[in-house]
Structure 1
Amino acid sequence: MTESPPDRIIPDRLENPWRTALMSWPTLLLLVAICLFIVNSLASPYFLSPWSLSDATFNFTERAIIALAMALLIISGEIDLSVAAIMALASTMMGLALQFGAGTPALVLIGLATGVLCGVFNGFLVTKLGLPSIVVTIGTMSFFRGVSFIVLGDQAFKGYPESFAFFGQGYVWWVISFEFVLFLAMAVVFYLLLHRTSFGRKVFVIGNNPVAAEFSGVRVARVKFILFCLTGLMSGIAAILLTSRLGSTRPSIALGMELEVITMVVLGGVSILGGAGSIQGVVLAAFIMGLVTFGLGLLNVPGIVMSIFIGALLIFVIALPIVFRMIRERRS
C-alpha cells in the first residue's frame, strides 16, 4: 500500500492576506504619517489651518514628482544623482530664453526639452557605453550645475510672465494647488505604469536579474534608457514648478535636492539594490517627509538641522533591512 501524501503546508502569507497587508511597509508608513499629522497639530496651533496644510504640500511636490521616476530607475538597478543639477540647467535655459522674449508656452517646452535631453545624455553613457550609472550621474551632476554657473555667474534671471507663475503658485480649487494636483495625477500614472503594465514587470525583472531578463527577451538597455529619459523629463517638470514658484532662476536652485529625492524613494520601500518597491510607498514617504519638514519649519528649526535629519533618515532606512536580515539569520 502506498502512503498518503503529507498535508500541504500553506504559508501564512497565503492563509492570511489581511495580516500580510497590515504588516506591509506601506501600512507602516501610513501609520507614521498619521502619527506625524497628530504631533504637528499638537505642536503648532497654525498647522490645521487649511492654508497651512496647502503650504505643506509645496515642501515635497517637486521632489516627489522626481521620486516617482527615480523609483522605477532604482528598481531597475540604476540611479541618477544628477536630477537636481538637471533642474538647475533646465531653469537656466528657461531664464536664458526669457531674456530673448520667450513666452510661457516656449518656456515650458524649453524646460521639458532640457530635462529630456539631459536624461538622454545620461542614458546614452550608461546603456550604450556601459558606464556605471552612479559614476556617470556624479559627473553629469557637476557638469550640468557647472554650465548653470557659467551662464549665470552671480546673477539671477527674473521677470517671468504672470501666466508662468500659475504652475508653481496657482490653485486649482480653493486651497488645492496645481502642483499638488499634478503630483497626484502623476502618481496614478506611475502606479499604473509600474504595477499594471508589461513595462513595469520588465522593470522588476531587470532589477532582480538583468542577465536572466536579457536571455528572456527583455531589451534591458532599451528599458533603462527610457527610464533615464523619464527621470530627466520629471526633473524638467520639477524645474518648471520650482522656477515658477520662486519667480527667479539662480545657479544654486535645487541644490542638494537629489538627497531628498533618494531618501523619499528608499523610505518608500524601494530596495536600493533594485528589484523591489512600490509607488504607494513612495507617495506615502513623500507625505511623511513633507509633514516632517513643514512641522520643523513651524517650530523654527534651522535648515541645517533638517539636512542632518534627512541624512540620518537615509542611513537608517538603508541599514534597517540589513539589520533585520542579520537578526533573522542569527535566529535561524
Structure 2
Amino acid sequence: MKRQARTRAILGSWDAVLLIAVVAVVLVGALAIEGVASPRFWRFVTLEAIPIALIALPMTLIVITGEIDLSVASILGLTCTVMGQMWLWGITSLPLLLAVCLLLGALLGAVNGLFVTAFGLPSLAVTIGTLALYRGLAYVVLGDRAVADYPPEWTMGAIAPIPGLTIPWMITVVAVLAVVFGVVLHATPIGRGLYAMGNNAEAARFTGISVLRTKFWLFVATGAMSSLAGVFWTLRFASARADNGNGLELAVVAAILLGGVSIFGGRGRLIGVIAAVILLGILRNALQLAYVPANTLTIITGSLLIVSVVGPNVAGMVRDRLRRRRPTTP
C-alpha cells in the first residue's frame, strides 16, 4: 500500500506533469510543424537551453531559500565584454580568459550576497539594482562595439557536437553539473538546510544552520555560473557585446518557477526545473519554426511565468481536497 501511494504521489506531482507536457509538446510539434523531428531542431534546442540551465541550477537553490537573483543576465553580459576587452589586449589563452571570467562572476555574485547578508537588504531590490549596474558597466567596457575575431577552433569547439550526434558536447557539462547540484540539494544536509531556510529562516538559524553564510555562497556560485554561461554565449555567437543575454533573466526565472519551485521558498525539485528548461526550449524553437512573431513568443513566456506561479498552487489545492474526500478505513 505504501509503495502504491508513493507511486501515485510521484505520478501526480508537478514534475511528472512537466515531463508529460514535454512528451506531449514533442509529439504534437512533430506532427504539426515541419522540422521539429529533425536532428537540427534538437541541436538548436540544446544550444539555447545550455546557458539557461547553467544559470538556473544554482539559482534554483537561491529561490528555494526564499531569495532571488535578477542580475544574472547582466553578469553574463559584463562577462562577455570583459572577455572581449581582454582579447583586444592580446590575452589569447582560453584557460586564462575562462579563469578570469569565472573569478569576475564570483566577485559580482559576492557583491549581491554581501548586500543581502551583511546589510540585510531584500535580494529582489539588490539584484534589480545590480541588474542595471552590471549592464551599465558592460557598456562602459565595450560601448557599442562588438569583438568577433575569435579563433574558429574556439567558436566551433564550444558548439561542437558529441561524436555521432548533433547535440553539442557542452550539454554533458550541464548534465554533470545538474547531477552535482541535484545531489547537494536532495541528498545532503546542505540541501535539507536550504529547504529549512526557505520555510523559516529564523527556525533554521536556531537549529545551527549558518543561514547568512550559506546564502552568500549561493550568490557567489550563481555569479560564477552566469559568467560560465557568458563565456559559452560569446563563443557560440562568436561575438562579445554589451547587450549579450539581455532579458535572459526572464527565461531563467520562468524555468525555475514553471519547474515547481515556490517563489516564496521552501519547495521545489531540480528535476522539475530541468524539465521546464527543456519544455520552454522546445516551445520557443517550435514556434519559431511556425513563424510565430518574436513579440508573441514574449507574451507566451510571460503567460507561462504566470502559470508557473498559479499552477503548482492549484495542483496542491486539488490534491489536498482529494485527500480530504478520500474515506479513511478504520
TM interval, shorter chain, is over 0.9
The worse-fitting range, judged by mean Cα deviation, of 316-325 and 67-76 is 316-325
Code of the residue aligned with 1:128 in structure 2: it is A
Corresponding position: 1:196 with 2:214: no
Query: Match for residue 328 of structure 2?
Result: none
The verdict on how the C-alpha distance between 1:42 and 1:15 changes in structure 2, with shifts beyond 3 A counting, is closer
Give the alignment's TM-score, normalised by structure 2: 0.92
RMSD in angstroms over aligned alpha carbons?
1.9
Count of residues paired in the alignment:
321
Instruction: Find the aligned partners of 2:320 and 2:103 in 1 and give their Cα distance.
Output: 49
Residue 242 of structure 2 aligns to which amino acid in structure 1?
A: P
Residue in structure 1 matched with residue 61 of structure 2 by the alignment = 72
User: Which range is displaced more, 263-272 or 161-170?
Assistant: 161-170
Letter in 2 for 1:63: I
Q: What TM-score, normalized to structure 1?
A: 0.92
Check whether the contact 1:168–1:242 (CA below 8 A) recurs between aligned residues. no
Distance 2:136 2:215 in 1: 26
Confirm whether residue 17 of structure 1 aligns to residue 6 of structure 2.
Answer: yes
Pair 1:117-2:117 in alignment = no
1:216-255 equivalences in 2 (<5 Å)? 216-255=207-246
Task: List structure 1 segments (4+ residues) > 2 angstroms apart after TM superposition.
Answer: 12-15, 161-164, 319-332
Cα separation, 2, equivalents of 1:303 and 1:167 = 29
1:47 aligned onto 2:47: no
Aligned partners of 1:167 and 1:240 also within 8 Å: no
Alignment partner, residue 167 of structure 2? 176
Structure 1 residues 93 and 23, CA gap change in structure 2 (3 angstroms): same
Q: Specify the alignment match of 1:302 in structure 2.
A: 293
Paired residues of 2:64 and 2:261 also in contact (CA < 8 A): yes
- Alignment partner, residue 271 of structure 2: 280
Q: Supply the AA of the counterpart residue of 1:138.
A: I
Structure 1 residue 179: Cα displacement: 2.4
Ranges in structure 1 where 5+ consecutive residues have no aligned partner = 1-11
Q: Which has the larger radius of gyration?
A: 1
Task: Name the residue aligned to 1:3.
Answer: none
Distance of aligned partners of 1:63 and 1:151 in 2 relative to their CA distance in 1, 3 Å threshold: same
Q: Partner letter of residue 100 of structure 1?
A: W
Distance in 2 (CA, whole Å) between partners of 1:117 and 1:224 is: 14
Gaps of 5+ in 2: 325-330
Distance across 1 between alignment mates of 2:316 and 2:35? 42
1:13–1:20 contact (8 Å) kept in structure 2:
no
Farther off after superposition, 316-325 or 254-263 = 316-325
Q: 1:27 aligns with which of 1, 13, 16?
A: 16
Q: 1:110: Cα distance to partner?
A: 2.0
**Kept in 1: contact 2:64–2:194 (CA 8 A):** yes
